[in-house]
Structure 1
């Protein structure tokens, strides 16, 4: 069977190649569409809407947009593409980048601002941006729990663990090791660090053990602390997802919720001032469980095709500002954040306007690149900051925060435009990352 259908919820027309081994999307152009298609392995793959309208002669502007989108979009090897999740990844990576941009600017900039940065609402928002990592954890819980939920709840095919781990290995390890070795070389060559002293940290990072061995983030690749927690979750997924084997819906969700509350309670007692535990999955298990709960709702209640309602936009419009208010309090963050993130993600799937934003082709394209962006964003900020911090355009904090953002955007756009028309082999190399 080899058919083609068009349409993705809230996105432009998208070509879906239906083959026996799954459904693989490839973006055609960023024309807004009301169509809705949800993709998941197994018998639950039921598109809720189709559109077949495409311009026969697209304008050159659309053609260029299509080329750029094709270059920066990723292909899914699992046959499962849920645009809302890439849209939420966009928010998470934006929060992390804003946090590090603000940190670099306030630490390295020689300027004296008209108003102190800590009095600016954007700076306050940036200060809580590191919680974007926890948004990623919920997404991981959802995406990795989904095939198991499909199997246990929806009668989908059994997840083959060897393929599950092989997919993780082949998709995540190449860019990670390339980045790790490159940063190791730069640390020795540019920063003048001692090879003998740094090598044990490199070895620990190679095996995702730096958090547990040293109780701190790696001096080679500092952002990898969260990736090590993700790896711990990957290893536990086959066991944790046995929760989906509980047949009764209410009981299953009660158990997941109970485990979440229990984790929060235990953390307040045992994980305080213990670096190795606070840098392990034990300190973040609640976010992965919330992802499981969302996967349960997605498969059980929505049948992978949630109906959009405007009143969920109202909930999202109130919830996102509330998120940043909650994040300013450690106590509220600990007890409320997991459930608030669940509500926001739920509203993203159900809201009419917010769903359209989060499934926009450009938003999902950037969100789909979040892994490679996350690996190198700190070094890119540092490299560009050495130049941009010398640019003085008045005493506005906003202006000087915007300068590196514009530079990064222009570099990204130039890279995308520069590779238009390159060979498929080069494009395949890009898609590896």
Structure 2
């Protein structure tokens, strides 16, 4: 059975808000591309890396592939942090504003139009084709109702829906969107730093409590451990990174200081993974807090241009994958179950089928991204960053023409 993680994904137009950071914001798309690849690798190899593998001994548990695949689920934590960053950006830069309750409906309409069309289509398709209960039965209607309302993430045995387990994190994203306007008001009346500290304390308490509540056949109380109760702080970490990023855009000393966070952030992420696998129970259950804190440091450093790491994530291919990550995430599990059944596919079968599987996922996701997520967008080239890339090339060429052989920095 596939397990999952995700995310919320913002559109390319929502990440072009920053007036002076198109290049840096492109790195956010690239990081989302990395996160979705982590999740897919995790799901592809989970039959060989789980605590009870379907094919024991086929994959060396101490090998690099097994280690990378085993921890690919952390892509969901990356998604949540990035989601908080991108969602807060237009409000931090005052392109939009939430100052009163009357502003909530406009925000909710905007977010619903972004998240719900694809989500509902995927729900209907997967319940129709992959439901574990007979169509029309009580259990079938119960799962359908839970998915359509997103209330399934508050039920321990329904937290990962049988028809499509990965949808749990989309539902968490939707519930964070419901809370977001209230959080913006809290920041204005309280402070972002207080909100971050409070969220870490409260969410950590829920995570600990969730591990203490025994649930038959599952072990932990997932709504507290992985739901909005235990994960909200991850989005708020992203909001904090957004705040620090905006403050440093016009300050060279601040950007230099943020650049120094890259190596400590990477080390903290590695330490979090080690603690999860080897630390005492009381510490290991809070590994996600360490990991998200480390990734937040890395994100801020990348946005500040540390070691030119932002250029790595601004490569066109990984940016496009990042832009399409919502569609890729929404469809990849259902296609995987059909093409590479986890219970019957050996490691050899998985490796052999991976390339055609990825080709079909990318093709379907490109259509979904173009016609479901952004069916109202006429300029398909802009959606796939083709126009932006061509424009940048022309700008650089023009710069060379006017300044001899000296290149012009891209915007």
* Fold shared per TM-score above 0.5: yes
The corresponding residue for 2:242 is 295
In the alignment, structure 1 residue 220 sits paired with structure 2 residue 197: no
Aligned residue pair count: 344
In the alignment, structure 1 residue 39 sits paired with structure 2 residue 16: yes
The 1:161/1:82 distance shift into structure 2, 3 A limit, reads farther
The corresponding residue for 1:205 is 147
Q: Counterpart of 1:222 in 2: which secondary structure?
A: coil
Residue by residue over 1:311-344, the C-alpha shift from the partner in whole angstroms, topping out at 9 and shown as x without a partner, is 5665566566556435535346144123112112
In the alignment, structure 1 residue 84 sits paired with structure 2 residue 27: yes
Task: State the shift of 1:263 in Å.
Answer: 2.3
The corresponding residue for 1:408 is 357
The 8 Å contact of residues 89 and 370 in structure 1, kept in 2 or not, is answered as yes
Gaps spanning 5+ residues in structure 1: where? 1-22, 26-37, 51-80, 392-396, 419-423
* Cα distance in 2 for residues equivalent to 1:122 and 1:243: 43
Higher helix share: 2
Residue by residue over 1:92-122, the C-alpha shift from the partner in whole angstroms, topping out at 9 and shown as x without a partner, is 2122111111124568998775x64323232
Q: Counterpart of 2:97 in 1: which secondary structure?
A: coil
* Cα distance in 1 for residues equivalent to 2:21 and 2:162: 48
* Cα distance in 1 for residues equivalent to 2:174 and 2:39: 20
- Correspondences of 1:265-304 after superposition (within 5 Å): 265-272=204-211, 273=213, 274-302=221-249
* Cα distance in 1 for residues equivalent to 2:376 and 2:185: 41
The 1:304/1:94 distance shift into structure 2, 3 A limit, reads farther
The corresponding residue for 1:177 is 120
The corresponding residue for 1:365 is 320
The 1:288/1:412 distance shift into structure 2, 3 A limit, reads closer
Task: State the shift of 1:357 in Å.
Answer: 1.0
* Cα distance in 2 for residues equivalent to 1:353 and 1:185: 47
The corresponding residue for 1:258 is 197
* Cα distance in 2 for residues equivalent to 1:426 and 1:243: 34
* Cα distance in 2 for residues equivalent to 1:265 and 1:142: 21
The corresponding residue for 1:374 is 329
Match of 1:349 among 269, 293, 303: 303
* Cα distance in 1 for residues equivalent to 2:22 and 2:144: 49
Q: Counterpart of 2:29 in 1: which secondary structure?
A: helix
The 1:227/1:195 distance shift into structure 2, 3 A limit, reads same
The 8 Å contact of residues 87 and 359 in structure 1, kept in 2 or not, is answered as yes
> What is the root-mean-square deviation of aligned Cα atoms in Å?
4.1
Residue by residue over 1:341-362, the C-alpha shift from the partner in whole angstroms, topping out at 9 and shown as x without a partner, is 2112112212243211112111
The 8 Å contact of residues 229 and 281 in structure 1, kept in 2 or not, is answered as yes
Task: State the shift of 1:266 in Å.
Answer: 1.7
* Cα distance in 1 for residues equivalent to 2:291 and 2:345: 38
- Correspondences of 1:112-127 after superposition (within 5 Å): 116-127=59-70
The 1:224/1:349 distance shift into structure 2, 3 A limit, reads same
The 1:303/1:199 distance shift into structure 2, 3 A limit, reads farther
* Cα distance in 1 for residues equivalent to 2:233 and 2:156: 24
Q: TM-score, normalized by length of structure 2?
A: 0.70
The 1:337/1:375 distance shift into structure 2, 3 A limit, reads same
* Cα distance in 2 for residues equivalent to 1:140 and 1:221: 22
The 1:429/1:220 distance shift into structure 2, 3 A limit, reads farther
- Correspondences of 1:24-63 after superposition (within 5 Å): 24=13, 39-40=16-17, 45-47=18-20
The 8 Å contact of residues 266 and 298 in structure 2, kept in 1 or not, is answered as no
Task: State the shift of 1:301 in Å.
Answer: 2.5
The 1:93/1:264 distance shift into structure 2, 3 A limit, reads same
The 8 Å contact of residues 267 and 294 in structure 2, kept in 1 or not, is answered as no
* Cα distance in 1 for residues equivalent to 2:97 and 2:37: 35
The 1:290/1:426 distance shift into structure 2, 3 A limit, reads closer
Structure 1, 323-332 or 166-175: larger mean CA deviation = 323-332
The 1:316/1:354 distance shift into structure 2, 3 A limit, reads farther
